[in-house]
Amino acid sequence: MDKLLALNTLLEVADAGGFSKAAQRLGVATSSVTRLMDSLEASLGTALLTRTPRKVNLTDAGIAYVEQVGKVLDDLAEADESVFDSGASPVGALRIAVPSTYSRLRLAPHLAAFLADYPRVFLDVVVADHYADLALDRIDVAIRIGLPNRDANLVVRKLADNPRYVVASHDYLERSGMPQTPEALDAHECLRVAYGGGYRTRQVWTFRREAVEERVEVRVEVRGHLLSNSLDILLDAVLAGRGIALLPEWLVVAEIRAGRLMRLFQNFEASPHHGDAVVYAAYLPNRRHSSKVRALVQFLESRVHTSLEG
């Protein structure tokens, strides 16, 4: 018995729910599928399938076995693909994790160009704002926004800076007044990005600028009635005149150019913490020699800078 063939056939039978349908998918005779399953069960000494005239179902042992076999065959396929992928031409499936808002504005517009450049690559884009475990979730490349030192166990490549702008709508500023200095923000409604913790959690915005012979840093504790981990929600709120927000340049630059938002404190660099967040790609060390990972990272390095400037 060809064990690998038998295992692949078992998965097909389990998915199809019958011998004849599985045989059609595999392009073989139904009798061949039946004999192969009989041989597999005999070699294991247990029943994996229950046969009825209308349907074939997995036994409890079969369910557990199929789950384990699926993982083994996935790992084997990944190992085979890694050999092909170490060559010069990118080929195979490439699974990417990317934050939702960034995906919509900065990644999605370029995917067609990447696929045109690399027609043998199959993209699987996972849009999620949680901090994905690359090994557990089988992610080849994660595009992240933050401090790269959080990923000390990964290979990290910076794609772009991530400057933040303090913005407000003209309507809000007419109603509440223009803050003349960062310190004046403690009297304003500030819309905050959630970085963990509840609405009572203190949040400090840090402002820095180069002055004569020194660097000035101002730290302001801000408060407000809206806290969210969704940048889209905060953008909609600031456009609606609900307060002042500290948001990424790539999110608000179009609204500033269109006159819907005003940038405040332009002579300061602003951030929600001491570190300077950047846009970066992260991947596991065992993906270091992957041609498709290398192709994607190089593609993004050129495209992300261009999109921010455009």
The CA dihedral of 253, 256, 260, 265, to the nearest 10 degrees, is 120
The residue with greater pLDDT, 14 or 79, is 14
Query: Are 155 and 286 within one domain?
Result: yes
Per-residue pLDDT, 309: 46
Indicate the pTM of the whole model.
0.68
Query: Are 169 and 263 within one domain?
Result: yes
Q: Look at residue 54 and tell me whether its pLDDT is greater than 70.
A: yes
Query: Are 58 and 184 within one domain?
Result: no
Give SS3 for 178: coil
Query: Are 281 and 145 within one domain?
Result: yes
Per-residue pLDDT, 86: 56
Which of 4-8, 35-39, 82-86, 243-247 reaches the highest mean pLDDT?
243-247
Model confidence at 97, pLDDT cuts 50, 70, 90, reads very high
Per-residue pLDDT, 274: 60
Mean pLDDT of the chain: 88
Look up the domain containing 196 and give its range: 164-271
Could you tell me the CATH number of the domain that includes residue 56? 1.10.10.10
Are 72 and 4 in contact, with CB atoms under 8 Å apart? no
Query: Are 34 and 96 within one domain?
Result: no
Mean pLDDT of 190-219: 82
Are 96 and 124 in contact, with CB atoms under 8 Å apart? yes
Could you tell me the CATH number of the domain that includes residue 300? 3.40.190.10
DSSP 247: E
Could you tell me the CATH number of the domain that includes residue 210? 3.40.190.290
Query: Are 157 and 168 within one domain?
Result: no
Query: Are 153 and 285 within one domain?
Result: yes
Per-residue pLDDT, 36: 92
Model confidence at 255, pLDDT cuts 50, 70, 90, reads very high
- Which residue in 128, 124, 110 sits closest to 230, CA to CA? 128
Query: Are 180 and 266 within one domain?
Result: yes
Query: Are 178 and 255 within one domain?
Result: yes
Query: Are 78 and 121 within one domain?
Result: no
229-253 tens-digit pLDDT: 899 999 999 999 999 999 999 999 9
Q: Which of 70, 85, 100 is the last residue of a domain?
A: 85
Per-residue DSSP letters for 186-245? GGS-EEEE--SS-TTS-EEEEEEEEETTEEEEEEEEE--S-EES-HHHHHHHHHTTS-EE
Per-residue pLDDT, 78: 65
- Say how many domains are in the chain: 3
Q: Which of 35, 58, 85 is the last residue of a domain?
A: 85
Query: Are 181 and 250 within one domain?
Result: yes
Q: Which of 63, 85, 107 is the last residue of a domain?
A: 85
